[in-house]
Amino acid sequence: MMRRLPLLALAAVLTAGAADAGPYHAPRTANGAPDLQGVWTNASLTFLERPPIFKGLIATPQEEAMMIAGFKKRAGTLLDAKVDPNLPAPPVVKAAPQADILEMDLRLARIDGQPRSSWIVEPADGQVPYNEAGKAAARAADQSSYDGPETRPLSERCLTAVGSPEGPPMLNTGFNANYQVFQTKDYVAIEVEMNHDVRIIRLGDTLHIPGNIRPWLGDSIGHWEGETLVVETTNLEPRSNVESRGANLVFSPQAKITERFTRTGPDEILYEFGVDDPTYLTRPWRAQMAMRAAKGPIYEYACHEGNYSLANALQGARYEETHPVAAAPPAAPAAAPSPKAGAGRP
């Protein structure tokens, strides 16, 4: 019995030490700030808004299984492609087959170990609380035409990326969902793999740029609150709607987005963001997202490098305007069905 006492005492000390460890403290940069640098990804099956199959913020195993099965069915062959870097170059073809590949973590994101059914945590229903003006603006943002390049979607014009992962807020997409963070004393830069955008966040600045200047990604200033980088973005360009799977975010000139980046472990950042827009919302809303460490590196993403699709699409529209499509010939009458064996016999 006496021999067991040191072991019990040691166990008590270890247990007490674990309890007193407290929250995670990130390593520091040379300037003493929490170090957020590295390559991170937010790829997952969690959407911004909560799909109707879920009953609450925390998904059940059955709900997650339904989500995964439904997504796989909808994605179809986009998930079938296999990439093997050891294979030789493919043969030269005149007409290339479908080459899109979904690059995703096919499960719901985990925060505090729990599967999340949506990024939105407030309101409780997991939906963007648009008022009537906001709903109308979101519908209008979905509209496009071939009248000219200005009426094509921003992602098609390579002004913003597909799914708007550059944000703000920075949402997950089906591919290229990687980010690299760089820090100095005065700036934090977030390189976004999709469309190769770089967000520049000014630290210590308390004044935004003049209100008549509205960059595609808004104007972001930040400061540190303990372990957390807090970023406030205003001067949002109203035409720069943020696309998301299952939602379309639009912002009025009065909108303000507040983001919080907190490193919660060696391989995870808790990314929180909220939107306050008295013109388009009935109330502010708030969301949480998990960003996980990724191996990297981030590769070049070239948009419209040698790509003639936009010009060709507009030329095609002009051709259709001057060359109406001839009416299709009437369909041939269906052949009469063959009589069944024995039909018509006495």
Lowest mean pLDDT of 36-40, 86-90, 161-165, 261-265, name the range.
161-165
Alpha-carbon separation of residue 143 from 135, 146, 156, 248, 273 (angstroms): 13, 11, 13, 12, 27
What does the pLDDT read at residue 160? Answer: 81
Which is more confident, 39 or 303? 39
- The shares of helix, strand and coil residues in the chain, as percent rounded to the nearest 5, are 20, 25, 55
The residue that leads in pLDDT, 216 or 203, is 203
pLDDT of 147 strictly over 80: yes
Assess whether pLDDT exceeds 70 at residue 166. yes
How large is the average pLDDT for residues 20-31?
Answer: 85
Distance CA 35, CA 184 (A): 10
Give the pTM: 0.81
Count of other CB atoms within 10 angstroms of residue 341: 6
Mean pLDDT of the residues in the chain: 84
Q: Is 248 helix (H, G, I), strand (E, B) or coil?
A: strand
pLDDT greater at residue 117 or residue 312: 117
Q: Does residue 162 carry a pLDDT above 80?
A: no
pLDDT value, residue 12: 47
Is residue 1 over pLDDT 60? no
Predicted pLDDT of residue 90: 72
Residue with tokens 């004044």: 207
Least confident stretch, 78-82, 195-199, 230-234: 78-82
Which pLDDT belongs to residue 330?
Answer: 61
Listing DSSP states for 111-126 in one string gives ETTEEBSBSEEESTT-
328, pLDDT greater than 60: no
In this prediction, residues 216-240 reach a mean pLDDT of 94
Residue 101 CB partners (closer than 8 Å, separation 6+): 78, 81, 83, 175
Which pLDDT does position 226 carry in this prediction?
Answer: 95
Overall average pLDDT of the 132-139 stretch: 93
Segment 89-134, tens digit of pLDDT: 777 877 665 556 667 778 899 999 999 999 999 999 999 999 999 9
The whole-angstrom distance between residue 53's C-alpha and the CA centroid of its chain comes to 20
- Higher-confidence position of 270 and 74: 270
For residue 195, is it left (φ>0), alpha (ψ between -120 and 50) or beta?
Answer: left
Q: Is the pLDDT of residue 339 over 50?
A: no
pLDDT score of 66 more than 90 = yes
Highest-pLDDT range among 242-256, 272-286, 287-301, 320-334: 272-286
Residue 8's pLDDT is what?
46
pLDDT band at 77 (very low <50, low <70, confident <90, very high): low
pLDDT confidence of residue 11 = 46
Highest mean pLDDT: which of 45-54, 163-172, 337-346?
Answer: 45-54
